[in-house]
């Protein structure tokens, strides 16, 4: 009884959210197909499989899968290289098998190493890109295909030139429809509408209003009427045989072609990384703070890509644009993802002509709201308050993604994060402040639980700056792992450098595995710091004259 109540309560949120995601997904699926140089329907297939199959198998409650903008260049190059789309979809099937293997090998653990600042930078950058890319569509300038999220566009322009050019080619009707849609969406955010019209998504009302308004313009012969060039363009079949022709079977005769496997590996790498980045980002957006098992996600994505490739679909990944729209629509579970996939299937199969009456500028309004929520200025203030080692990778990631593409930008952001980590470890983690040391006081250097090669430079710097004629205690009682190079530095200091500076060096807590350093008896340490024994059993170190910790 409780489970049915929970399902019903969840469905109150998931059904409207599924409708909103469906409205966002349709033009993106078509646009990515166009940008990839693939058949129009291949993007719809990927959207259907991503919603129904991956949605069912995935353990992510809020992420939405489908064709990804990050793979458009790979698809375009690969289809041209192979010379046939049926050969390419064979590579998609093999890529899915590779993803299954990665999932079973637990390769998804790599997601644990994505810094929070980079993930937040990615979300913010995607929000900025959505706004920059959708503004031309809002004004009725649809030269660049929906779903093209690269800075350098397939139409020969870039993000900024496309935006500037749209100003001189404003379609008044499309702009009016976008403004009306935005007004409805903003109104639907008000408490009254949220409370009383919860089951009716604002995005659906905005789109219906846009369709009706444009039909009125068409009937009245107004120059505000939006033409077919500014509307959704779903392929319409005249019969069952033509509809079946939209599907492409893999050319299995190409199994002996080595290029197929090279392309499959490329798809596997890009799709897997983009998926892992997306689920990490969506988990951060989740109000309930649920976590997605990355290995389970790779398996779900692998099965999805096998299914998509077998019937002529584009490669699938978890997609941040659709996922963030899902979160903003207040979805509760993966039912919304499955609902969006079912809606795509039903509509493109039975009522494609009705979909083709939707103005792109109305859908741009939905995406503009989604983009704004992703790049809210309050996030910048929060990251800056957390210090430069957080905001520097964040800012660099944002700029790099906006000016290149998702994976390149994230790679640059990760590089800056690693450099910031190395610099921070070098400058701060173990540095001994010589000016604070008082003559005769013992110096305690307390090693962290994990002492890696990243700490090598800072430990070396610390030991080099220790004052002569002093007593130093290097404590490794809490250390579970100490890098071999660090042990070599400590041994060299104790056996060679310390005697030269008349420093008495005591090493305590080093396990038997670290035979490279002789461990002194704990009792002998007490004569240098009488209260040190209490420190070893967990009492505060605040009374120690100088403590250097990681």
Cβ-based neighbours of 20, under 8 Å, separated by 6 or more = 201, 203, 204, 325, 326, 328, 329, 366
Q: How many CB atoms lie within 10 A of CB 114?
A: 19
Domain membership of residue 2 (yes or no) is no
Q: How many CB atoms lie within 10 A of CB 285?
A: 18
- What is the spatial distance between Cα 363 and Cα 209, in angstroms, rounded to a whole number? 12
Domain membership of residue 523 (yes or no) is yes
| DSSP-assigned letter for residue 545 | S
Domain shared by 162 and 97, yes or no? yes
Q: Tell me the two tokens of residue 348.
A: 């493109």
Domain membership of residue 110 (yes or no) is yes
Domain membership of residue 3 (yes or no) is no
Q: Which runs of E-coded beta strand occur in 22-181?
A: 64-67
Domain membership of residue 413 (yes or no) is no
Q: Tell me the two tokens of residue 256.
A: 């002996």
Residue at a domain's end among 403, 424, 445: 403
Q: In this predicted structure, what is the pLDDT of residue 489?
A: 87
**By the 8 A CB rule, do 137 and 364 touch?**
yes
Cβ-based neighbours of 352, under 8 Å, separated by 6 or more = 234, 235, 236, 237
Q: In this predicted structure, what is the pLDDT of residue 547?
A: 39
Give tens-digit pLDDT for 257-308: 999 999 999 999 999 999 999 999 999 899 888 989 999 999 999 999 999 9
Domain shared by 467 and 384, yes or no? no
- What is the spatial distance between Cα 232 and Cα 214, in angstroms, rounded to a whole number? 13
Domain shared by 251 and 340, yes or no? yes
Computed over its alpha carbons, how large is the radius of gyration of the chain? 29
Count: domains in the chain: 2
Q: Is the dihedral of CA 162, 168, 170, 171 positive or negative?
A: negative
* First-last CA distance in the chain: 52
Q: What residues form DSSP beta bridges with 444?
A: 473, 547
Domain shared by 372 and 471, yes or no? no
- What is the spatial distance between Cα 361 and Cα 368, in angstroms, rounded to a whole number? 10
Q: In this predicted structure, what is the pLDDT of residue 439?
A: 64
Q: In this predicted structure, what is the pLDDT of residue 29?
A: 93
Q: Tell me the two tokens of residue 436.
A: 């604070």
Domain shared by 173 and 320, yes or no? yes
- What is the spatial distance between Cα 447 and Cα 430, in angstroms, rounded to a whole number? 9
Q: Tell me the two tokens of residue 28.
A: 């993106």
Domain membership of residue 57 (yes or no) is yes
Domain shared by 308 and 362, yes or no? yes
Q: What residues form DSSP beta bridges with 445?
A: 474, 548
Question: Between vectors from CA 378 to CA 373 and to CA 382, what angle results, nearest 5°?
Answer: 130
CATH number at residue 518: 3.30.750.24
Give tens-digit pLDDT for 504-537: 888 887 765 455 555 555 444 444 444 444 433 3
Domain shared by 129 and 73, yes or no? yes
Domain membership of residue 226 (yes or no) is yes
Q: Tell me the two tokens of residue 396.
A: 């660099």
Nearest alpha carbon to residue 432 among 535, 544, 546, 525:
546
Domain shared by 362 and 465, yes or no? no
**Domain residues for 486?**
434-548
Residue at a domain's end among 403, 418, 446: 403
Domain shared by 368 and 500, yes or no? no
CA dist 312 to 39, 253, 272, 539, Å? Answer: 9, 16, 20, 65
Domain shared by 384 and 529, yes or no? no
Domain shared by 399 and 449, yes or no? no
- For the entire predicted model, the pTM comes to 0.78
Element (H, E) at 440: none
Q: In this predicted structure, what is the pLDDT of residue 2?
A: 47
Q: How many CB atoms lie within 10 A of CB 5?
A: 9
Q: Tell me the two tokens of residue 207.
A: 């789109």
Nearest alpha carbon to residue 59 among 108, 92, 24, 22:
108
Q: In this predicted structure, what is the pLDDT of residue 55?
A: 95
Domain membership of residue 467 (yes or no) is yes
Residue at a domain's end among 362, 383, 403: 403
Q: In this predicted structure, what is the pLDDT of residue 166?
A: 87
**By the 8 A CB rule, do 321 and 125 touch?**
no
- To which residue do tokens 């009302």 refer? 205
Domain shared by 144 and 238, yes or no? yes
- What is the spatial distance between Cα 169 and Cα 182, in angstroms, rounded to a whole number? 20
Half-sphere exposure of 443 (CA within 13 A, CB side): 26
Q: What residues form DSSP beta bridges with 508?
A: 475
Low-confidence ranges of the chain (pLDDT < 70): 1-9, 386-387, 389, 422-441, 511-550
């Amino acid at each position: 009884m409780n489970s049915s109540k929970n399902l019903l309560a969840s469905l109150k949120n998931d059904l409207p959210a599924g409708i909103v995601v469906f409205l966002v997904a349709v033009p993106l699926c078509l646009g990515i197909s166009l940008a990839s140089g693939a058949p129009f329907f291949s993007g719809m297939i990927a959207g259907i499989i991503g919603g129904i199959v991956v949605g069912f198998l995935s353990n992510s409650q809020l992420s939405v899968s489908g064709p990804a903008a990050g793979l458009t260049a790979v698809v375009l190059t690969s289809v041209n290289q192979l010379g046939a789309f049926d050969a390419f979809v064979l590579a998609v099937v093999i890529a899915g098998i590779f993803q299954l293997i990665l999932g079973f090998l637990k390769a998804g653990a790599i997601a644990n190493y994505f810094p929070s600042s980079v993930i937040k930078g990615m979300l913010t950058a995607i929000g900025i890109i959505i706004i920059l890319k959708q503004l031309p569509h809002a004004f009725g300038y649809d030269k660049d295909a929906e779903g093209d999220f690269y800075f350098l566009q397939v139409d020969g322009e870039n993000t900024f030139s496309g935006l500037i050019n749209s100003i001189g080619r404003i379609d008044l009707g499309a702009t009016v429809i976008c403004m009306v849609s935005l007004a409805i969406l903003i109104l639907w955010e008000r408490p009254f509408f949220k409370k009383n019209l919860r089951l009716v998504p604002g995005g659906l009302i905005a789109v219906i209003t846009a369709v009706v308004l444009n039909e009125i313009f068409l009937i009245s012969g107004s120059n505000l009427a939006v033409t077919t060039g500014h509307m959704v363009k779903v392929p319409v079949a005249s019969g069952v045989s033509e509809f079946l022709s939209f599907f492409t079977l893999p050319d299995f005769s190409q199994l002996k072609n080595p290029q197929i496997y090279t392309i499959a590996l490329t798809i596997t790498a890009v799709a897997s990384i983009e998926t892992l980045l997306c689920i990490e980002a969506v988990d951060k957006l989740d109000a309930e703070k649920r976590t997605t098992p990355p290995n389970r996600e790779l398996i779900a994505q692998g099965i999805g890509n096998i299914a998509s490739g077998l019937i002529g679909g584009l490669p699938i990944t978890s997609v941040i644009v659709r996922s963030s729209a899902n979160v903003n629509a207040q979805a509760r579970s993966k039912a919304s993802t499955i609902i969006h996939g079912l809606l795509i299937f039903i509509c493109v199969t039975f009522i494609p002509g009705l979909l083709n009456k939707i103005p792109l500028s109305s859908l741009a309004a939905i995406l503009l709201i989604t983009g704004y929520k992703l790049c809210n200025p309050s996030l910048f203030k929060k990251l800056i308050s957390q210090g430069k080692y957080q905001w520097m990778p964040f800012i660099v990631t944002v700029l790099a993604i906006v000016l290149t593409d998702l994976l390149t930008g994230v790679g640059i952001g990760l590089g800056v994060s690693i450099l910031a980590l190395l610099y921070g470890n070098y400058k701060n983690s173990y540095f001994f402040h010589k000016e604070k040391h008082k003559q005769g006081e013992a110096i305690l250097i307390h090693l962290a639980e994990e002492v890696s090669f990243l700490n090598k430079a800072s430990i070396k710097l610390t030991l080099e700056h220790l004052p002569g004629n002093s007593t130093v205690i290097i404590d490794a009682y809490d250390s579970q792992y100490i890098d071999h190079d660090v042990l070599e530095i400590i041994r060299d200091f104790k056996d060679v450098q310390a005697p030269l500076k008349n420093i008495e060096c005591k090493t305590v807590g080093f396990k038997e595995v670290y035979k490279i350093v002789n461990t002194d008896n704990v009792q002998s340490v007490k004569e240098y710091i009488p209260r040190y024994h209490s420190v070893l059993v967990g009492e505060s170190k605040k009374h120690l004259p100088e403590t250097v910790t990681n």
